C-alpha cells in the first residue's frame, strides 16, 4: 500500500464523485445532464500535468508501484502495457484536453510491434486499450490496420478442436491448452477487427471462444474458475483450477470481474441472450455475495480465509463498475446502475484515491495483483485506473 501523505483530491475524481452520488435511481436525465455539464467544463485536467511529464520510454510503461512509490516499469510485451496509454486517451476524452491525446499517441506507437507477438493472448489488453481508444478518438486509419493485424496474430492461437484461444504458454508440464477467464477481455479486439475488415473469421473465433468458456468455466453458483485446461486431441476438459485465487474452488475477485465484463461485451456484438443472461447471473453472484464489504470494493478473493482482514482489489471493483454500466444499458435495470454508482463513489473517496505528493502515474490505491505470489499487493496498478476512467466516461455518456 502506498504510504499516505498530504493530498488534494484530483478535481476529475471529485466530478466523478458528484455524478455518482447525485445521479441516483429516480433522477431525471435532465438532472444528470445538468450535473455533468456543470462539472466537466472546468479546468481540472491541470492536476494531472505530471502524467504529461512522465518520461516516455518504450521499456518503461508504468505497471504498478510499491509502498515507497517505486514504479514497476515494463516493456510493451507485458500484458499491462496498453493501460497507461489507454488511460491517457480516456482522460483526453473526459477532459477535452488534447494534451493527453497527444501524449497518448507517443506512448501508443511503442506498442505497435506487439501486433506480431503470437506468444501471448493479451492482444486486446495491449493493443485495443491503446490503439482501440486511439482509433475511436482520432479515426487514424493506420490504427485500424494495426488492430486488424493484431487480430490476425491473435487468431493463430485459436484451436478448432477446443473451440477457444490458448491463453498461457508456460507450465507445459502441467497444462496442455490452458484457457483463463481473463481471455474473455481480448475478444473485443476480434469483434471490432471483424467490423473493421468485414472478415467474419474474427467474429466466429470470438463467438466460439465465448461459448466454450460459457460451457466450461462456471460453477453452479455462477462463479468462475480461473483456468480450464483442455485436451487438444479430444477438446475435452483436463482440469479446472484457480491459479491466482486462494484455492481451486475459491472465487478470485478479478476473475469474476473479467467474466462479468466479458459476457456483457460479448452480448454487445452477438446479441446472444445466453451471454446476457450469464452476465446478469455473474452480476448477481457479485452483488449479493455475503463477503462483499459495505463499500462494495471486494476482497481479492471472495473466499479468502482471513476476511475482513484480507487485502481489497480496487481493480476488480473498477472493472465491475464499468461492466455494470453497460449491463444497465441492455437491461434498464436500475440495480446495476445503482451498484456501479456505489462502487464508484467508494473508489472516488480518499480511502482509495492515492494520497501522496509523489508524482507517480496512478490514481487508485488498494489493488491486488497476484496474491499467491505476493506480487503487487494492496497498491496502485495501471488497469485499476484504466477501468475506473472507462467507468467515469461511460457514466458521463450514459443517456
Q: How far apart are CA 308 and CA 4, in angstroms?
A: 22
Residue pLDDT, tens place only, 105-126: 999 999 999 999 999 999 999 9
Whether residue 301 lies in the annotated active site: no
Would 124 be classed as within a structural domain? Answer: no
Predicted confidence at residue 348, as pLDDT, reads 86
Q: Are 346 and 57 in contact (CB under 8 A)?
A: no
Q: Which of 97, 182, 207, 229 is catalytic?
A: 182
pLDDT on residue 46: 57
φ and ψ at residue 8, rounded to 5 degrees: -110, 125
Beta-bridge mates of residue 164: 159
What is the percent of the chain with per-residue pLDDT over 70, rounded to a whole number?
Answer: 87
Say what the pLDDT of residue 398 is.
86
C-alpha cell at 165: 484461444
Q: Give pLDDT, residue 17.
A: 42
- Residue 195: what pLDDT? 97
Q: What digits encode the pLDDT tens for the residues 38-82?
A: 333 333 455 567 788 899 999 999 999 998 889 999 999 999 999
Q: Which residues pair with 239 in a beta bridge?
A: 229
Question: Is 275 part of any domain?
Answer: yes
> In this structure, what C-alpha cell is assigned to residue 301?
478473493
The answer to whether residue 20 is domain-embedded is yes
Domain count, the chain: 1
Asked whether residue 119 is assigned to any structural domain, the reply reads no
Taking the CA atoms of residue 343, residue 345, residue 349 and residue 351 in that order, the dihedral angle to the nearest 10 degrees is -20
Residue numbers of the domain that contains 366: 1-42+251-399
Identify the active-site residue in 122, 301, 341, 385.
Answer: 122
C-alpha cell of 387?
477501468
The whole-number pLDDT of residue 213 equals 98
CB 286 within 8 A of CB 260: yes
CATH number of the domain that 391 lies in?
1.50.10.10
For residue 73, being part of any structural domain is answered with: no
- Domain membership of residue 9 (yes or no) is yes
pLDDT score, position 383 = 98
Are 64 and 364 within 8 A, CB to CB?
Answer: no
pLDDT score of 154? 98
Residue 7 confidence class, pLDDT cut points 50, 70, 90: very low
> Which residue, 333, 308, 337, 332, is CA-closest to 321?
337
Q: What is the pLDDT of residue 47?
A: 57
CA-to-CA distance for 253 and 98, rounded, in angstroms?
Answer: 35
Return the number of other C-beta atoms located less than 10 Å from residue 213's C-beta. Answer: 27
Which tens digits make up the pLDDT trace of 284-322?
A: 999 999 999 999 999 999 999 999 999 999 999 999 999
Average pLDDT over the chain, rounded to whole?
89
182 as an active site residue: the answer is yes
176 DSSP 8-state letter: S
Does the residue 203 lie in any domain? no
Which cell is 373 given?
505470489
Alpha-carbon dihedral angle through residues 245, 364, 126, 95, given to the nearest 10 degrees: 150
Amino acid at each position: 500500500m502506498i504510504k499516505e501523505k498530504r493530498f488534494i483530491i484530483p478535481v476529475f475524481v471529485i466530478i466523478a464523485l458528484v455524478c455518482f452520488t447525485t445521479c441516483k435511481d429516480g433522477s431525471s436525465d435532465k438532472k444528470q445532464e445538468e450535473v455533468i455539464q456543470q462539472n466537466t467544463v472546468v479546468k481540472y485536467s491541470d492536476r494531472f500535468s505530471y502524467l504529461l511529464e512522465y518520461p516516455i520510454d518504450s521499456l518503461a510503461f508504468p505497471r504498478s508501484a510499491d509502498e515507497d512509490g517505486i514504479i514497476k516499469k515494463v516493456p510493451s510485451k507485458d500484458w499491462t502495457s496498453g493501460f497507461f496509454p489507454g488511460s491517457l486517451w480516456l482522460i483526453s476524452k473526459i477532459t477535452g484536453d488534447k494534451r493527453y491525446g497527444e501524449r497518448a499517441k507517443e506512448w501508443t506507437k511503442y506498442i505497435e510491434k506487439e501486433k506480431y507477438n503470437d506468444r501471448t493472448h493479451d492482444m486486446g489488453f495491449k493493443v485495443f486499450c491503446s490503439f482501440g481508444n486511439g482509433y475511436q478518438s482520432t479515426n487514424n486509419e493506420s490504427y485500424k490496420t494495426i488492430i486488424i493485424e493484431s487480430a490476425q496474430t491473435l487468431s493463430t492461437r485459436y484451436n478448432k478442436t477446443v473451440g477457444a484461444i490458448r491463453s498461457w504458454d508456460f507450465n507445459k508440464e502441467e497444462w496442455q491448452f490452458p484457457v483463463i477467464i481473463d481471455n474473455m477481455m481480448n475478444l473485443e479486439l476480434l469483434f471490432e477487427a471483424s467490423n473493421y475488415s468485414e472478415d467474419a473469421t474474427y467474429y466466429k473465433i470470438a463467438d466460439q471462444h465465448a461459448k466454450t468458456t460459457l460451457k466450461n468455466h462456471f460453477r453452479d453458483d455462477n462463479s468462475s474458475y480461473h483456468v480450464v485446461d483442455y485436451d487438444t486431441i479430444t477438446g475435452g476438459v483436463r482440469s479446472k483450477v484457480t491459479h491466482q485465487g486462494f484455492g481451486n474452488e475459491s472465487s478470485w475477485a478479478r476473475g469474476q470481474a473479467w467474466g462479468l465484463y466479458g459476457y456483457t461485451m460479448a452480448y454487445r456484438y452477438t446479441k446472444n441472450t445466453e451471454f446476457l443472461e450469464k452476465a446478469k447471473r455473474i452480476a448477481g453472484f457479485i452483488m449479493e455475495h455475503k463477503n462483499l464489504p459495505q463499500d462494495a470494493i471486494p476482497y481479492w478473493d471472495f473466499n479468502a480465509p482471513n476476511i475482513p482482514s484480507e487485502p481489497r482489489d480496487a481493480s476488480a471493483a473498477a472493472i465491475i463498475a464499468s461492466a455494470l454500466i453497460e449491463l444497465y444499458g441492455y437491461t434498464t435495470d436500475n440495480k446495476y446502475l445503482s451498484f456501479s454508482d456505489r462502487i464508484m463513489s467508494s473508489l472516488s473517496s480518499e480511502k482509495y484515491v492515492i494520497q501522496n505528493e509523489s508524482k507517480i502515474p496512478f490514481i487508485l490505491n488498494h489493488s491486488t495483483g497476484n496474491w499467491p505470489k505476493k506480487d503487487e499487493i494492496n497498491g496502485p496498478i495501471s488497469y485499476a485506473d484504466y477501468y475506473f476512467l472507462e467507468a467515469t466516461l461511460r457514466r458521463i455518456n450514459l443517456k
